[in-house]
Amino acid sequence: MAPMATEKQSLDDFLARERAALVSDCTACGKCVEVCPVTPFTAIQSGDAPGVMAGVLGLLRDGTPLQGAAREWSSQCNGCGLCIPVCPEAINPRRMLMLVNTVEAEQDSPTPQLFRKMSRAIRIMAAMQLAPPEFDKLLRNPRAHPADVVFYTGCNPIRTPHLLFNAMAILDALEVDYEVVGGPGACCGIIQSKWEGDQASAERVVDGTISRFAGFQPKEVLSWCPSCVLHLGETLSGFRQASFEFDHVTNYLVARAQGLADRFVQPVNKRVLLHTHDGMDKVGRNVAAMLSSIPGLTLVDTVSEPGYTCGGSGADRSPALKQAARVKTLARAEADDVDVLVSLYHGCHGQLSGLEAKGNFQVLNWTDLLVQALGQQPHDDISKRYRMQDDWDMVLDEGEIYLKANGIDMDRDWLKNLLPEIFAQTEFKGGLEAFASIRKNTGVVG
């Protein structure tokens, strides 16, 4: 996060200034539309690009609602960033569309109460997988004390907690002085800003989270979540001054790759296929470099999918494009030279890990492999076990034990009916209405 802002400003004012700058700088040449891989999956025709951009600029200028192809484009932008290098005016069109999304959400959010729904879903999923001390570690933020590094888990990654504990094992092996911050209580504010269109709440959330980071006086805040990196480090770049660097955790780890490799004591004799994303492609390269340094491991190939991540903020926004790429990924993973399909982020792992049940390949996160190479047992991937089940009663037989241990007592049938929605994160499509109701209707007793 570049320390650019010099005085405190409201998020509304900041966003208005950024929109005005884009309106002033963008010539509506349409080059960003022309290169965008999403456009073939919209109504945009050859020659439409300047008109689409005129619509985008109208919304940014005075809030004129987007229509037709321009609206489709903005709703399908998956954050891949392939438009960024082509802009002759050095505008970041991905950021432009993120700002468009905030205005559209202010005008008419298709996902009201998303944060409320998401927080509850995250809490239930985490409580179904973690023993109480681990649950507290991810959901209860510690009191501030000096630490070199803050490991920022974000909130949605807590749905797949095993990869966060693996990441901590890697930081431990490197003897990093770090503290863990995350959960819905330390959200980055993207939900309020881009999905709910509530900039006053978003400002409170961003301020609270940045202040929480600052309380540890860290040199660096390392984010697991790529959405947080994009929101805080790109969309809101310049909004708040920060005394620390904000970066993706893999950039920190790859800078210490030799120290990590020196600690590898266990060969991992696997042939792996790495799943990456077009957006923030450096993260994929970081992981490929670290995997390649593991003794015994063969990185047979890397397959990149659209967007900056899997999930509702990324590739799933353009489902037809994503599906075409996913078919290729799975075909490659089923080839004889692949033992393991390696996931990149939590969203990817959530979508891919259950496919292990088909028996054609194993699905591991890159952190699993690094922890194995360090001679340790990776954290139990209970979310994968749940996703491999085709019977929600079997999931609850195990999940209820953890839920009760974490003090959460829920009606089994009520929860069983909701689990498919919780695991599919349908709140990002306006689902999980049960969690939007008042508390007495949620079935949560404890």
Residues in contact with ligand SF4 by the rule CB under 6 A: 26-32, 36, 38, 53, 77-83, 86-87, 89, 91, 93-94, 96-97, 154-156, 187-188, 190-191, 225, 227-228, 231
Least distance between ligand SF4 and beta carbon 340 (Å): 26
Task: Kindly tell me which of 214 and 388 has the beta carbon lying closer to ligand SF4.
Answer: 214
Task: Indicate the length of the chain as a whole number.
Answer: 446
Whole-Å CA distances, 55 to 22, 60, 62: 13, 9, 11
Q: Where are the alpha helices (DSSP H) in 224-334?
A: 226-230, 249-254, 257-262, 281-292, 319-333
Spatial separation of the C-alpha atoms in residues 274 and 344, rounded to whole Å: 8
Least distance between ligand SF4 and beta carbon 232 (Å): 8
Task: Kindly tell me which of 115 and 135 has the beta carbon lying closer to ligand SF4.
Answer: 115
Q: Which two tokens stand for residue 138?
A: 């991810």
Do 82 and 35 meet the contact criterion of CB atoms below 8 Å apart? yes
Q: Label the pairing between strands 149-154 and 178-182.
A: parallel
Q: What would you measure as the largest C-alpha separation in the chain, in angstroms?
A: 60
Least distance between ligand SF4 and beta carbon 258 (Å): 30
**Per-residue DSSP letters for 263-278?**
T--S----EEEEEEES
Task: Kindly tell me which of 314 and 399 has the beta carbon lying closer to ligand SF4.
Answer: 314
Task: Kindly tell me which of 122 and 290 has the beta carbon lying closer to ligand SF4.
Answer: 122
Least distance between ligand SF4 and beta carbon 207 (Å): 14
Task: Kindly tell me which of 208 and 295 has the beta carbon lying closer to ligand SF4.
Answer: 208
Task: Kindly tell me which of 187 and 291 has the beta carbon lying closer to ligand SF4.
Answer: 187
Least distance between ligand SF4 and beta carbon 57 (Å): 8
Cα–Cα nearest to 125, from 314, 312, 346, 341? 346
Phi, psi dihedrals of residue 271, rounded to the nearest 5°: -105, 115
Task: Kindly tell me which of 103 and 291 has the beta carbon lying closer to ligand SF4.
Answer: 103
Least distance between ligand SF4 and beta carbon 429 (Å): 15
Q: Which two tokens stand for residue 373?
A: 């190479």
Least distance between ligand SF4 and beta carbon 22 (Å): 8
DSSP 400: H
Task: Kindly tell me which of 163 and 273 has the beta carbon lying closer to ligand SF4.
Answer: 163
Task: Kindly tell me which of 126 and 273 has the beta carbon lying closer to ligand SF4.
Answer: 126
**Per-residue DSSP letters for 5-48?**
--S---HHHHHHHHHHHHHHH-----HHHHH-TTGGGSS--TT-
Least distance between ligand SF4 and beta carbon 108 (Å): 21
Q: Which two tokens stand for residue 73?
A: 């484009």
Torsion from C-alpha of 64, 17, 36, 59, nearest 10 degrees: 0
Least distance between ligand SF4 and beta carbon 223 (Å): 8
Task: Kindly tell me which of 36 and 395 has the beta carbon lying closer to ligand SF4.
Answer: 36
DSSP H or E run through 100: helix 93-107
Least distance between ligand SF4 and beta carbon 191 (Å): 5
Cα–Cα nearest to 303, from 340, 268, 267? 340
Region of 243 on the Ramachandran plot (φ > 0 left; ψ -120 to 50 alpha; else beta) = alpha
Position 405, amino acid: A
